[in-house]
Amino acid sequence: MTELLDRHRRVMGDGAPLFYDEPLQLVKGEGVWLEGADGRRYLDLYNNVPCVGHANPQVVAKLAEQAATLNVHSRYLHDGVVDYVERLVGLHHDGIESAILGCSGTEATEMALTLIRGTTGKRGIICTDATYHGNSSLVGRLSWLPVGTERSGIKSISTPQLFRPLDAGLSEVALLQLHLDELTGTIASFADEGGFAGLMLCSILANEGLPNPPAGWFAEAVGLVHDAGGLVIADEVQAGFARSGSWWGYETSGFVPDVVCMGKPMGNGFPLSAMASSHDLITEFRQRQRYFNTFASSPLQAVAGDAVIDEITNRGLVGQVREVGDRLKASLTALQQDHPRMGDVRGTGLFIGIDWVYPESNNPDVDGAGQVVEALKSRGMLLGKAGQHGNVLKIRPPLVFDHDNAATFLSVFRDIVADAHS
């Protein structure tokens, strides 16, 4: 292991990110289970990309069959590709009619930002102050952008949240208004700075740490953007494909976007992403940008994507995710009553965050959260931590995670939380 780690650092560069004090070497995955090089099995509560399970036999078989038949780039007609994109946009609301495939979430979000700027002829983009939408030179400018600063026509608004509210003295209704006023002011600030193009939002505020905004925030914010002539991009790269217990995070959060970005779980690990919108906006984008992507819109991508939709549909995973997630969250919320380090339990479907805090102050306890993650690993459970302060335990297993898996996790988690409070 040490030798492999040394070689990893030498050849991949020092600083290439690896989880855990002692990085984990994996050799095999099946369903919700991962196997280490030491022969240990780990329950996977972290990985959202293999959404229909590690090494899913249906996806593997379809990929193998297609790879042995044909794989070409997008400048030829292929019925499988057209069938897949039709099926994909058909899963969305009526305004989503056409899509452009890519290979990463970053490509999808980059296309979306370029689309809204091109369509509106305006430059100003708004995001939250604790977000991540990808790593290109354009999209990377949205990452962790402090309120009150500006990066090339991009500004942020405070992440709306009830647990650590912007102003603790306000009622929920007043807090909602404070956030909406901030958005209105930020939109207005673009008036002399290239105008306002739109808002990009993760539909469930995943990288922000899954905060609960004041009730109605999503729909009201979207209304303000539209009133100002802007467009709304829903980043569904984490939120989409049943993760929140609906097909799309924007359904769970109650708003209707103009543009949608998808990625991560879309191909169960085969690189596949998409940016989707109305037929008119996609057509205009294509005419302006002449977008081409060597590996995208291939027959191989189409079979991977199609097999994922088949699995989610045939196995009833949207409903399963909702049920398993609801019950798991209820158990964690019950556990929280006696364990004040679990400051807040939130999220929907199979994406649950536990805000790990110092009990007296409710301040984020990043080190404590890290210790829980390490302790869980030593007991064969893998999860991560994330959020605005890096202290939110992130439970985000493959969608096929079931009630038995949840019970297995809870039995270990209860011990670890008890130890942390002893």
Residues that bind ligand PLP (CB under 6 A): 104-106, 109, 132-134, 202, 206-207, 235, 237-238, 263
User: Residue 88 Cβ, how far from ligand PLP at the closest point, in Å?
Assistant: 17
**What is d(CA 132, CA 127) in angstroms, rounded to the nearest whole number?**
9
d(CA 26, CA 140): 30
Q: Is there a contact between 199 and 232 (Cβ–Cβ < 8 Å)?
A: yes
Q: Residue number with the shortest CB distance to ligand PLP?
A: 105
**Nearest distance in Å: CB 299, ligand PLP:** 21
Residue closer to ligand PLP by CB (options 243, 341) is 243
H or E, element range at 74: none
Residue whose tokens read 């369903």: 31
Among 401, 390, 389, 277, smallest CA distance to 328 is for 401
Q: Nearer Cβ to ligand PLP, position 160 or 263?
A: 263
CB nearer to ligand PLP: give 137 or 361: 137
Nearer to ligand PLP, 154 or 175 (CB): 154
Which has the closest alpha carbon to 125: 103, 110, 105? 110
Region for residue 35 given its phi and psi (left: phi exceeds 0; alpha: psi -120 to 50; beta: otherwise): beta
**Least Å from the CB of residue 189 to ligand PLP:** 25
Nearer to ligand PLP, 179 or 394 (CB): 394
* Closest CB 127 distance from ligand PLP, rounded Å: 11
Main-chain dihedrals φ then ψ at residue 88, nearest 5 degrees = -65, -50
Q: Which is nearer to ligand PLP, 211 or 263 (CB)?
A: 263
Please give the single-letter amino acid code of residue 236.
E
Q: What share of the chain is helix, strand, coil (3-state, %, to 5)?
A: 40, 20, 40
In this complex, which beta carbon is closest to ligand PLP, that of residue 66 or of residue 104? Answer: 104
CB 63 within 8 A of CB 304: yes
CB of 135 to ligand PLP, least distance (A): 6
Nearest-approach distance from CB 221 to ligand PLP, in angstroms: 17
How far is the C-alpha of 19 from the C-alpha of 71, rounded, in Å? Answer: 35
Task: Return the number of the residue (45 or 417) whose C-beta is nearest ligand PLP.
Answer: 45
Least distance in angstroms from the C-beta of 124 to ligand PLP: 20
CB 116 within 8 A of CB 198: yes
Retrieve residue 128's tokens: 């939250």
DSSP assignments along 226-237, one per residue: HHTT-EEEEE-T
**CA–CA gap between residue 242 and residue 413 (Å, rounded):** 25
In angstroms, what is the minimal distance from the CB of 92 to ligand PLP? 17
